[in-house]
Structure 1
């Protein structure tokens, strides 16, 4: 009788652990931005809680006009490495105009 209860308890614990969903580690969707004269860049399903430097953005020519088409909040920074005092938050579905310059982004 005790063995059966112990097996039942262990099996129930295993099923419970496997049934709990694991939190996603990516912002689902697309983050778009413009750079250069007439180019568009995008991050597809970007990693959450990690700073991402936009590969085409440079000190001389930062990216601009970000559009957050993900389900997470995006905080964009003028400096690389998500550093500096100049940042702006875009809610899911939010976008900014050509005057907002960006070089890095982090998603919630």
Structure 2
């Protein structure tokens, strides 16, 4: 191999590596678990959780067995991302609260949806 062909091969390899770094990656996710409490239709308290939730996507909190439209409460953000919780479904409305990573809120904070940064 000549010096010129070695230089061209190294240059091509470096260019490919740079393009690989610049290409968009897969969808990111918050690492950890987000927990919340809800009341079932029978009146029992239950704990719901999201494990490694997707970032940048609005998530309506599932509350199996609860009455439709019932708000959840007492969120605990045990992920590595900031969680913004909303009183309304579909991350809409003027009532929202931001929970930094590793924090939580009291039973008085009601929520129906969340989005992670």
TM-score normalised per structure 2 = 0.81
Alpha-carbon RMSD: 2.2
Q: Which residue of 1 aligns with 2:14?
A: 12
What count of residue pairs does the alignment treat as equivalent? 107
Q: Distance in 2 between matches of 1:100 and 1:18?
A: 44
Q: Tell me how far 1:23 sits from its aligned partner.
A: 7.5
Question: 2:45 is matched with which residue?
Answer: 38
**Aligned 1:1-108 pairs, distance under 5 A:** 1-18=3-20, 22=25, 25-36=28-39, 37-56=44-63, 58-59=68-69, 61-108=70-117
CA-CA distance at 1:12 after TM superposition: 1.9
Query: Any unmatched runs of 5+ in structure 1?
Result: none
| Runs of 4+ off more than 6 Å | none
Unmatched segments (≥5 aa) in structure 2: none
Say which one has the larger Rg. Answer: 2
Structure 1 length as normaliser, TM-score? 0.87
